Structure 1
């Protein structure tokens, strides 16, 4: 197992997309666990989904006082990014800001180019120039990739050693581009970077566009839920707390800087999957969700679940199976996500009942 080679205590940490599902949970956990850190968070709070959720997440971070600084802007604004780096000098940068969603990338591609490509480029450039004038600069850049980069890969489980050259959505293509851009900057400017391929993240106060949340909204309204590929799909669902734990562990081990035989830097660059490594059948997933919504009182005891299911073909941009190979994560960090789907959906159902009812 790798030994931690960077201390977070006393550090200034930049988290982009801090009002997002993963960003807010990560910021809260870090501020709780490391009493002397300061988190600078940036988010433009788009209306891609209900902004009240984003404001609620930010509200929960206010309890940390001056240790949490919020910047209301987009990473696509290069001036704003440069201002953050010049004013706060972050030592750790965690890039979670991105336009998410496979299906939305088909109808609104501009948002993905602006946030996922231009925005990430601005972050890379700021990291590069953080070393100017002999400054210590950024110690570790950690950024969110996605299981979507595996595209139509038929080999399972998905390994970071697999080729990922066949994306089936623009979203996936932008995430693969992020990995390539980070590699180039690591090579050219010796910036230590680690990419994390997240697998279907879920949990309380999550994203309403995700299946578990969207299905719940529809069932509460008495609408039918669409079960794609007639239920013949499997997803590797990963509970939010497991994602956050994995990110925190990865942050604290910086890829080592080395020089190759050609006298040039070997890119200090790594990629990991973070997933439950336990794909769940879509039909089993919706059944567990239904049972937990009943138990939490979100749905009435006499709810006719079968009448609210509609089986439809595969959605454009989707894939039949996602399945994470997490052996490198286990080997290097002694960690494997382990929250069961039932436990995770139970916590979501109780949160949903409290938040909306």
Structure 2
């Protein structure tokens, strides 16, 4: 095991946190996981992810709320943590229309609690945290990807607004207290162990059950689907390349090859070996038409280059999904 201090990963029972913690353990790091394991989606999936981590040497777990500022401060201080990957958040654009206060608690209070704990930690080195491509709003998509320099002042969902607020909070803390922070704007992450509220996962559930799928935006939306292993490459690359002492930086992390929703469904049908019955629906409130990442800054910093294209990624997901659920 690494002689360095352990790395704290919040949201360790979540999709991205689970994969990130495994990668860190693979390279000999000690990892402290934190997750409240709520029921926003099936807790059994979160527990199954967690079980793969707790079986490993070097991993310890705390079932806790990241918005508990005293607990987070004590955990970071007593464990001598100097690096944090903060991925815990209330996810989902559409759910933010139903339960807005969950976003205030998990995203705003949670981010503040983590930052406060980090700024008081002796010798603190780097906070890497999850932002989202949703901060860009529903801007027209031309031939180039969204760049980090765009103003991001027109969020179309409360989820996006809280993620942009977290970026601004981090900017203020970097200026005030001088500890390095990196915000990562994730673009539509998918793959094995993924989130059931994401389209590719919910479509798979319905297709395998012989049920019709609802295709929102009349199928005209496009997303920059990014495979989970590529996302983890970017997270750890960013972690290992901390900015200067008082710097807060924002980096896109995506595939940089947007794919139309209908093309994604066709690719998923091929991966599952089943055809989908499609019901076309209008755009949902809070959704954006397209996402497209310019990842040149992350590439210049870490050499980041996505390796897994959508057909391969969905084939891997379909194999995992059938194995996990027993679907035939």
Q: Is the CA contact 2:10–2:85 (under 8 Å) kept in the aligned structure 1?
A: yes
Tell me the residue number matched to 1:102.
93
Q: Does 1:63 align with 2:55?
A: yes
Q: Does 1:120 align with 2:111?
A: yes
Rounded to whole Å, the distance in 1 between the matches of 2:283 and 2:137 is 14
Equivalent residue of 1:70, what SS?
A: strand
Tell me the residue number matched to 1:168.
156
Gaps of 5+ in 2: none
Tell me the residue number matched to 2:278.
309
Q: Does 1:148 align with 2:134?
A: yes
Tell me the residue number matched to 1:226.
214
Tell me the residue number matched to 1:32.
26
- 1:285 aligned residue (249, 253, 264): 264
Equivalent residue of 1:316, what SS?
A: coil
TM alignment of 1:172-321, pairs within 5 A: 172-257=160-245, 267-294=246-273, 299=274, 305=276, 308-321=277-290
Rounded to whole Å, the distance in 1 between the matches of 2:39 and 2:77 is 29
Q: Is the CA contact 1:15–1:41 (under 8 Å) kept in the aligned structure 2?
A: yes
Rounded to whole Å, the distance in 1 between the matches of 2:22 and 2:133 is 25
Deviates more, 1:112-121 or 1:53-62: 53-62
- 1:54 aligned residue (14, 26, 46): 46
Output one character per residue of 1:35-78: Cα deviation in whole Å (capped at 9) or x when no partner. Answer: 2x22111100010111111111111112323x111000111112
Q: Is the CA contact 2:5–2:80 (under 8 Å) kept in the aligned structure 1?
A: no
Equivalent residue of 1:194, what SS?
A: strand
Output one character per residue of 1:105-132: Cα deviation in whole Å (capped at 9) or x when no partner. Answer: 00011110000000110011111111xx
Equivalent residue of 2:85, what SS?
A: strand
Q: Is the CA contact 1:146–1:198 (under 8 Å) kept in the aligned structure 2?
A: yes
Deviation at 1:318, TM superposition (A): 0.4
Q: Is the CA contact 2:225–2:254 (under 8 Å) kept in the aligned structure 1?
A: yes
Output one character per residue of 1:2-39: Cα deviation in whole Å (capped at 9) or x when no partner. Answer: xxxxxx75221110000000001100111011x2x221
Gaps of 5+ in 1: 1-7, 258-266
After the TM superposition, which parts of structure 1 deviate over 4 Å for at least 4 consecutive aligned residues?
Answer: none
Deviation at 1:85, TM superposition (A): 1.7
Deviation at 1:252, TM superposition (A): 0.6
Rounded to whole Å, the distance in 1 between the matches of 2:149 and 2:70 is 37
Deviation at 1:338, TM superposition (A): 2.8
Q: Is the CA contact 1:274–1:337 (under 8 Å) kept in the aligned structure 2?
A: no
Equivalent residue of 1:105, what SS?
A: helix
Tell me the residue number matched to 1:261.
none
Equivalent residue of 2:196, what SS?
A: coil
Output one character per residue of 1:195-247: Cα deviation in whole Å (capped at 9) or x when no partner. Answer: 00000000011000000000011122222111111111110000000000111
Rounded to whole Å, the distance in 2 between the matches of 1:249 and 1:332 is 8
Q: What is the TM-score when the length of structure 2 is the normalising length?
A: 0.96
Equivalent residue of 2:182, what SS?
A: strand
Output one character per residue of 1:109-164: Cα deviation in whole Å (capped at 9) or x when no partner. Answer: 1110000000110011111111xxxx32x200000000000012225411001110
